[in-house]
A and B are shown apart, each in its own frame.
Chain A
Amino acid sequence: MIELKDVTLKYSSTKGIFNLNFNVEKGEAFGYVGPDDAGKTTTIRMLMGLIRAGRGSVTIDGLNCFFQASAIQKNIGYVPEEVGLFENMRVKEHLNFITQMRGGFGRKDTHLRDSLIERFDVETRGKIENMSTGMKKRLAIVTALMHDPQILVLDEPTNGLDPLMQSRLLDLVLEEKRRGKTVLLATHKFEEVERTCDRVGVLKEGHLVENMDIVSLRAEETKAYLVKFGAPPNLEQIKKYGFDYQQFSQSDYEIFSSGDRIDVLMKVLSHEKVLVFNSKNQSLEEIFQKHYQQETNHQEIKNEIKNEVKNEVKNRADKPQAEKLKLFRKKEVKNKALPDKAMKNKTLPEQDEKVREVKKA
């Protein structure tokens, strides 16, 4: 069991970790998310015994992570964000060396190791320094898991992996979880957390701002659907049933529905000519975005929220979440629309000119 109690570690007055409290129970998978520089890796460095907490206690199975690191390391498998392998070694040499360092001098049972090598398609010939980043990461995963640890600590484990390997890794994490392993997964990617974790903690500027159960979160999530209509839809009808929507173009809409009202939305849409119906399952993403965005343009968001509340307070009085949702939609629309327009305006005249020049010549 991983336990952090009132942990504080200051790099400066704003950077570091402040009064961090959380537990990861045995057999639980904990998603640890947050923007860059929030302190995720710092937390993991403390868990791995690389740095000492300034205040508070960091323990795994009751053992102090700094002073009893070697005892803890017996049961832990750690995949670092940036892999530091012995570059001048060959792959087999590296794996043998780490096995020996783990006390397996002359151990012949390499069954698990071989299956991991096969699973992640690790090239075992050649020196590590000549390998690609992705291959090094795969080797780091094999290195971390080949002693069948009870606790997995994964720091951005899918970074640098191709989609196939990402998927294989997440499958492995799920399998291990089912076998009763404890998992701490630090990541940026909410879909990884949604796929593998039971609970998620959001870290921001060194504070844990959310710590929630994914199962209960799913029940109350708001779902977003991207819908393309073949004919102009009956917007009045959609509004009447209390669904929120955002119009992208004549036929493209994003419609929001709470998790327990999807059947109603289906009924409403059954009267329309629907060409495309895509689910945008992004409840977690929105929670994360709230924290990610506040950091970047705090003021802008505040202003936008104020304006929107003023304009649309009547329509949306029954839906307190609405302004937040609207905000994200607005941003997305902006992002999507702008590049297209810019591209058209820029490229077309240029191309025309070129064509003319060619003709003249």
Chain B
Amino acid sequence: MSIPLFLKNIKNNTVLLLVFVALMSIYLAVIIYIYDPSGVGAMVDMMSILPAVVVNAIGFGTIDSGLTGFIASLFYGVLIYLFPMVYCIILANRLVAKWVYEGSFNSLLYTPNSRIKIIVTQGAYLLASIAVLFTVLFLVGYGMSEQFFPGMLDIKVFLKLNLGATLMTMTIGMVCFFFSCLFNNTKLALFFGALIPIGFFILNTVSKLSEKTLFLGKFSLYSAFDGLAIVNGQANITLIIGGFAIVIVLLFVTAVGVFSLKRLPV
């Protein structure tokens, strides 16, 4: 870990982080705000207008009547895949491939710091910023719930939801990071860095459409995180977190290995 570089990353990418923190916080706050404890009737009515297939696909198939379940279905159903995915794609590219492509990454390597040290710093920033993003989200969710519906939020479950989502996002981030380390070209890094998460997302969405396509979910990383299952207690959170953690470590090590041995352009 190189501290000056880490600080520089913070300076360079704080605006990006703030944009996503703001977007997602507002979304979460609004969702909590529109919650109606006397029943989710209006929401269910609205959903009944739409074809069942579509409702399932966007993850609103089952709407839990409790506040935690409501948040889990509406926020940790679809949005949690999309927003952080975009954040990861952009950030991972900015941390490595963009600098390599522009030639400024070499300026770092012309200092007495090993490639491993530098690339680990970049990866660490990616993970740390995702952690910050979800910490803020957790606090916003907790704050809003306590403000409007005191005592209704199951904090333990909400924490589990956030932990699961954090680890899942970190995994996606590491996928993007890996491609950012692999390619010297921004376009290729962006293409593969986006292709795979979007592919996961599509597979996950399609798998919810019908019984026939259910098997597709097995190929999607996103299927490993199911907000409602965590709320219902059907999912083993330790297994989810452990699984993601292993994938993160594997991807990180591979990315560092690939980067430390590859040919860099001048």
Binding site for B on A (CB under 8 A): 41, 44-45, 48-52, 69-71, 73-74, 76, 78, 80-88, 97-98, 100-103, 105, 143-144
Contact = CB atoms under 8 A, between A and B. Distances in A.
Interface residues of B, number: 26
B160 interface: no
Contact of B5 (A52, A73, A74, A101): A101
Contacts of B115: 49, 69
Interface in B26-47: none
A143 B107 contact: yes
A91 to B, nearest CB: 14
Contacts of B264: 45, 50-51
Contacts of A100: 4
A95 to B, nearest CB: 11
5 contacts: A50-B109, A50-B264, A70-B113, A86-B107, A101-B113
A84 B107 contact: yes
B111 A98 contact: yes
A41 B266 CA distance: 8
A261 B263 CA distance: 52
B2 interface: yes
Interface in B1-28: 2-5, 8, 12
Given A88-B12, A97-B8, A101-B4, A78 B102 contact: no
B257 to A, nearest CB: 14
A216 B2 CA distance: 49
B263 A84 contact: no
Given A73-B111, A73-B112, A101 B266 contact: no
A81 B266 contact: yes
B109 A48 contact: yes
B114 interface: yes
Contacts of B117: 70
Contacts of A70: 112-114, 117
Nearest to A101: B111
A74 B110 CA distance: 9
A87 B104 contact: yes
Interface in B85-110: 102-110
Contacts of B112: 70-71, 73-74, 102-103
B49 interface: no
Q: Main secondary structure on chain A at its contact with chain B?
A: loop
Given A50-B109, A69-B115, 11 more contacts: A45-B266, A50-B265, A51-B264, A52-B263, A84-B103, A86-B104, A101-B4, A101-B5, A101-B111, A102-B111, A143-B107
Chain A CB count within 10 A is highest, among B102, B103, B111, for: B111
Contact of A50 (B2, B114, B263): B263
Contact of B102 (A51, A87, A97, A143): A87
B50 interface: no
B113 A84 contact: no
Given A52-B263, A101-B2, A85 B111 contact: no
B168 to A, nearest CB: 31
Interface string B232-266: 00000000000000000000000000000101111
A73 B263 CA distance: 18
A243 B7 CA distance: 69
Contacts of B263: 50-52
Contacts of A144: 110
A19 to B, nearest CB: 20
A96 to B, nearest CB: 9
A49 B118 CA distance: 14
Contact of B110 (A71, A78, A86, A97): A78
Contacts of A101: 2, 4-5, 108, 111, 113
B55 to A, nearest CB: 45
Nearest to A75: B112
A82 to B, nearest CB: 6
Most chain A CB within a 10 A radius of its CB, from B3, B110, B265? B110
Contacts of B8: 97
B5 A84 contact: no
Nearest to B116: A70
A52 to B, nearest CB: 7
Contact of A49 (B12, B103, B109): B109
Contacts of A86: 104, 107
A144 B177 CA distance: 29
Nearest to B108: A101
Nearest to A73: B112
A285 B64 CA distance: 83
